C-alpha cells in the first residue's frame, strides 16, 4: 500500500482548502469539532475529515502538521473516522498563549475520552504516526519526524475490517486558522509486535 493523494475523499468537505502535490491546506470554519457525549453530554460531529480507505491489517501512516492556531480548542492532526460514534484522533489543541494540549481522543460506541499533556504554546509544528495491527492502534508524535514517542495504544471496536484514515482540522470556537499537512507516507507497520525489539 502506498499513499496516493488522489485516493483521498472527504467526509464533510470544507469551504476553503487546497490540495497540491504533497501538500494539503485546510482553512477551518468556526464551530466545527469531533466529540461525543462524555463529561458534558455535548455532541459535535461536523469537522471536515480527509481520508483514504483500506483493508490492510498492518501498516503505519506518517504526516507532518504545521498550524496557525490561535483560539482555544483550535486543532489539527490525524484521524481514523469510521462513523460518528466510532473514531480516533490525535492533535494539538490550542489553549492559551502559555500552553496547549498534545493529546488524543478515542471514541467507541458514542463516548469519547481525552488523554493529554501540556506543551508550550509556541510549538506550531508536529509529526504524527498512526499504526495499525488488526483492530488495535498506536499513535505516536515527533518534533523532527525521526524520533517518535508513543502517545496512545487503543482498541477500536469497529476497527477490525475496512477502515478509513487520514487528516482533519477544526475550530470548535468562533475562530478560523490554516492547517498544513505534508510529508504524508505509508510504510510497513512501525509498531512492533509485543516482545519484538524495535
* Other residues' Cβ atoms within 10 Å of the Cβ of residue 138: 20
- Domain coordinates in residue numbering, the chain: 5-187
The CATH class, in words, for 5-187 is mainly beta
Q: Of the candidates 166, 137, 178, 19, which has an alpha carbon nearest to the alpha carbon of residue 78?
A: 166
Tens-binned pLDDT, residue by residue, of the chain (198 aa):
889 999 999 999 999 999 998 999 999 999 999 999 999 888 999 999 999 999 999 999 999 999 999 999 999 999 999 999 999 999 999 999 999 999 999 999 999 999 999 999 999 999 999 999 999 999 999 999 999 999 999 999 999 999 999 999 999 999 999 999 999 999 999 999 987 765
User: For the whole prediction, is pTM greater than 0.85?
Assistant: yes
Amino acid at each position: 500500500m502506498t499513499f496516493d493523494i488522489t485516493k483521498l475523499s472527504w467526509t464533510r468537505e470544507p469551504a476553503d482548502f487546497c490540495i497540491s502535490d504533497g501538500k494539503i491546506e485546510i482553512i477551518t470554519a468556526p464551530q466545527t469539532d469531533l466529540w461525543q457525549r462524555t463529561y458534558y453530554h455535548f455532541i459535535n460531529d461536523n469537522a471536515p475529515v480527509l481520508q483514504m480507505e483500506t483493508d490492510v491489517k498492518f501498516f503505519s501512516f506518517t504526516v507532518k502538521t504545521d498550524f496557525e492556531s490561535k483560539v482555544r480548542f483550535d486543532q489539527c492532526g490525524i484521524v481514523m473516522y469510521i462513523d460518528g460514534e466510532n473514531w480516533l484522533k490525535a492533535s494539538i489543541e490550542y489553549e492559551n498563549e502559555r500552553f496547549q494540549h498534545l493529546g488524543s481522543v478515542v471514541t467507541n460506541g458514542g463516548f469519547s475520552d481525552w488523554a493529554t499533556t501540556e506543551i508550550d504554546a509556541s510549538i506550531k509544528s508536529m509529526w504524527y504516526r498512526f499504526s495499525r495491527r488488526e483492530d488495535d492502534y498506536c499513535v505516536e508524535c515527533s518534533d523532527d519526524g525521526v524520533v517518535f514517542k508513543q502517545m496512545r495504544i487503543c482498541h477500536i471496536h469497529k476497527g477490525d475490517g475496512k477502515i478509513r484514515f487520514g487528516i482533519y482540522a477544526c475550530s470548535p470556537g468562533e475562530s478560523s486558522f490554516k492547517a498544513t499537512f505534508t510529508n504524508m507516507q505509508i510504510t510497513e507497520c512501525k509498531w512492533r509486535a509485543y516482545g519484538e525489539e524495535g
